[in-house]
Amino acid sequence: MSIGVGIIGGGIFAREEHLPAVEASKDLTLKAVYSRSLKSAKTLSSNASHVDLYSDDSESGKGYKDLLKRSDIHAVIIALPILNQPEYIRAALSAGKHVLSEKPIAENVKDATELIKWYHSNIDTKKVTWAVAENFRYLNSFDHAQLEVQKLGRVLGFRVRLYGNVQAGSKYYETEWRKTPTHQGGFLLDGGVHFTAGIRLLLGSKDKITRLSAFTNQLQKHLPPVDSVDATMKTATGSTGTFQVSFGTTLTGSEWTVGCEGGSVSVSGSTITTNIDGKEEKTEVKDERSGVPPEVRKWGEALTAGKTNERQNPEEALADLELLELMLRSGENNGAPIDTKYQL
């Protein structure tokens, strides 16, 4: 039986990623779209005339709560501004709808832990499930690299370098809640949780991050409150590594490298490079778009089977968020080291 789905949010990511992913899933059928404005909802449904539209400025009976009352909608994908999401997540779960909410899980760790506690205390999680999206966990390149890391023995160190230069006028920058952020970290929070998820996936639970220290900076005036972080991290096994991310620099490059006793593994785009005993080998591993199609597909498959997908557990998203938040706190305190609490 196909699962009726509503998409909550009419932004760029919902339009370009969630909509085609839902339409491509054999287990999901799009029934409705909600956005705060009818104009925004229409942009998401322009190629789907069979989809009903809901918004805050629509006629009576066409708001978010009305969408949640529909018996033919069993699940919703929520992709709203970061600060708005918890309210909509609670409402959907309370209405008995399965939820896939976009990352980050919440604006901060405090709100995230409270939301997880509320979920387990107030919702029958065997009947109604909450998943948190993180498309990096569905990139074939990272899955392949993780398997290669596991073959090479003890982790000796790691390095993450990701540089970009977000320009005023670019499509994501011109989203109002990103342009004038009221959430901590600005672009570092919104984009950075992808990267903490990526390094967590490559390292695995045995080498979970236990302590970190970081310096942060705002290099570009139009990217408040900070746009860059340089961190050092220590894992449960004692190995150390670096995490360097900037959304406002002229530095270039993208690198994820894990060094192990038996060699090293690097990810750069779809290219996986292994170096063993000085012998370098490159493998091209094609990702399925941004990872969103398999992410949504796996969610639908899990719902159909009456299960949850472990990679989408809220606790995984909390661990991603914690690392980013601790970098921000450390940066505010001149690089003071901080221990982690929620790593898995």
Determine what percent of the chain is predicted with pLDDT higher than 70.
Answer: 99
Q: Which pTM does this prediction carry?
A: 0.96
| Cis peptide bond N-terminal to 104, omega within 30 | yes
**Where does the pLDDT of residue 48 fall: very low under 50, low under 70, confident under 90, or very high at 90 and above?**
low
Residue-level pLDDT at 182: 83
Look at the block and give the residue holding tokens 């989203």.
175
Bridge partners of 165, per DSSP, are: 248
- The answer on pLDDT for 47 being more than 90 is no
Mean pLDDT, rounded, for 261-274: 96
pLDDT tens-digit series, residues 137-157: 999 999 999 999 999 999 999
pLDDT value at residue 43: 84
Report the pLDDT averaged over residues 225-238.
Answer: 98
Sign for the CA dihedral angle at 220, 226, 232, 237 comes to negative
- Considering only 85-89, 142-146, 176-180, 274-278, which range has the smallest mean pLDDT? 176-180
Which is more confident, 171 or 206?
A: 206
Strand partners, 4: 29
Give the pair of three-digit tokens for residue 326.
Answer: 């601790």
Question: Model confidence over 312-324: pLDDT tens digits?
Answer: 999 999 999 999 9
pLDDT-based confidence at residue 169 (cuts at 50, 70, 90):
confident
Q: Cβ neighbours of residue 82 under 8 Å, at least 6 residues apart?
A: 104, 106, 107, 177, 183, 189, 190
Going by their DSSP bridges, the two strands 263-268 and 75-78 should be labelled as unpaired
Instruction: Give the mean pLDDT of 101-129.
Output: 97
DSSP state of 18: I
pLDDT at 49 over 70: no
Task: Look at residue 128 and tell me whether its pLDDT is greater than 90.
Answer: yes
> pLDDT value at position 46?
65
146's enclosing H/E stretch is helix 140-151
Bridge partners (DSSP) listed for residue 283: 272
Angle between helices 140-151 and 187-203 (to 10 degrees): 40
Q: Which phi and psi (to 5°) does residue 213 adopt?
A: -140, 140
